[in-house]
Every structure is written in structure tokens, then in C-alpha cells.
Amino acid sequence: MAALSKNSAVRLLNGNIQIDTPLKYAARAYEEAAGKTSAWHWMGQPSNLAQDYTGIIFQNFASGVINTEQFVQNMKNAVSAGIASWRA
């Protein structure tokens, strides 16, 4: 595993992993809204959706490379491309 720097968004502090990314705050705000929950699971998704299409988008958003609007648009494009490839 790569070493984590003190400037990294993901770091080790007192033996615990600490995450400080835009995704963390977006998910927390969503979950803290009245009556909202986040279902972050992959059950029922087609094979290789995350590996081939959406994984890098989640990674880019979590690391701050893309903003919320870019995340949404990239996810729409990736899922559409995945569906098109499965139908081919």
C-alpha cells in the first residue's frame, strides 16, 4: 500500500484512517437531512459496472478532481455507455 502523506485527503492518525474529501461532506449533509439515508451498496448492479465504468468517477469526486455537477454528468455518461455495451 502506498504511504499516506500528512497532506493527503486520506491519512492515518493514531492508527485510524481519517478521510477528508468532498464526498465525505456531501454524503454527511445528505444523510443528516431529515429522513434521508444513503444506500451505498452495489447489489443488483450489472457485472463490472463499478470496475469498468463508475469506479474512477467515484474516485475523482472523492479526491476533489471533479465537482458535483461533473460527477452527475460523468455518472450519466458512464451508466449510459455501460448499458449500451451490455445491449450490444
Where are the chain's structural domains? 10-32+47-87
Amino acid, res. 56: I
Which pLDDT belongs to residue 71? 92
Q: Out of 1-15, 24-38, 66-80, which region has the weakest mean confidence (pLDDT)? A: 1-15
Rounded distance between C-alpha atoms, residue 37 and residue 27, angstroms: 9
Q: What is the pLDDT of residues 17-45, one digit of tens each?
A: 677 777 777 777 777 776 666 555 555 66
Residue 70, pLDDT score: 95
Mean confidence (pLDDT) of the chain: 75
User: Distances in Å between the alpha carbon of 76 and those of 29, 36, 80?
Assistant: 22, 22, 6
| pTM of structure | 0.52
**84 vs 41: which has the higher pLDDT:** 84
Burial readout 23-51 (b: 16 or more C-beta within 10 A, e: otherwise): beeeeeeeeeeeeeeeeeeeeeeeeebbe
- Dihedrals phi, psi of 55, to nearest 5 degrees: -55, -45
Residues 6+ apart with CB under 8 A from 61: 22, 23, 68, 70, 71
